[in-house]
Amino acid sequence: MHCPFCGHTETQVVETRVADDGALVRRRRQCGHCDKRFTTYERPDVSFPSIVKKDGRRVPYDRAKLQGSLQLALRKRPVITEQIDSAIERIEEKLLAAPSREVASNRIGEWVMRELKKLDQVAYVRFASVYRNFEDIDEFRALVDKVKR
């Protein structure tokens, strides 16, 4: 494992923990050169279904894209990284449990909205405003009113 700070190739595992009910292993590592610590995660390599876009294109599932969307919606919000990782894990579990080898992107968007609604209402509204592509302020106001209730 290369150190993300200095690029040195020798790092030492200083702590190992099982996380997310055994779904992944969290390792704290320390660089042998610069002595900085960092965390790595190990998870099983599984085959996710293809994602079917609105225009009919099929693309491979990309965890980084899902994570980026969640982080963008949650930017400057009081939600910790572990909560985001757990939300991603729950979405990935739904993907893996899908009966088909293809999942529509709008279905994933709905799963993301459900997770954001549980994590942070402001992030939920942010994501929904882009995802649902509101045409006017009344649609946006209706969503905010729904969240307030």
Q: pLDDT of 4-22, one tens digit each?
A: 999 999 999 999 999 877 7
In angstroms, the CA 52 to CA 54 distance is 7
* Largest distance between two CA atoms of the chain: 58
- The whole-number pLDDT of residue 138 equals 75
Task: Tell me the pLDDT of the chain averaged across its residues.
Answer: 89
List the chain domain ranges.
Answer: 1-44, 46-148
SS3 content of the chain, % helix, strand, coil (to 5): 45, 20, 35
The whole-model pTM stands at 0.66
Residue 33 CA neighbour count, 13 Å, CB half:
10
Q: Span 92-98, mean pLDDT?
A: 92
Q: Name the one residue in this structure whose structure tokens are 């610069």.
A: 34
pLDDT tens for each residue of 23-59:
789 999 999 999 999 999 898 777 899 999 999 999 9
Phi and psi for 55 in degrees, rounded to 5? Answer: -85, 5
- The whole-number pLDDT of residue 2 equals 92
pLDDT band, residue 128 (cuts 50/70/90): confident
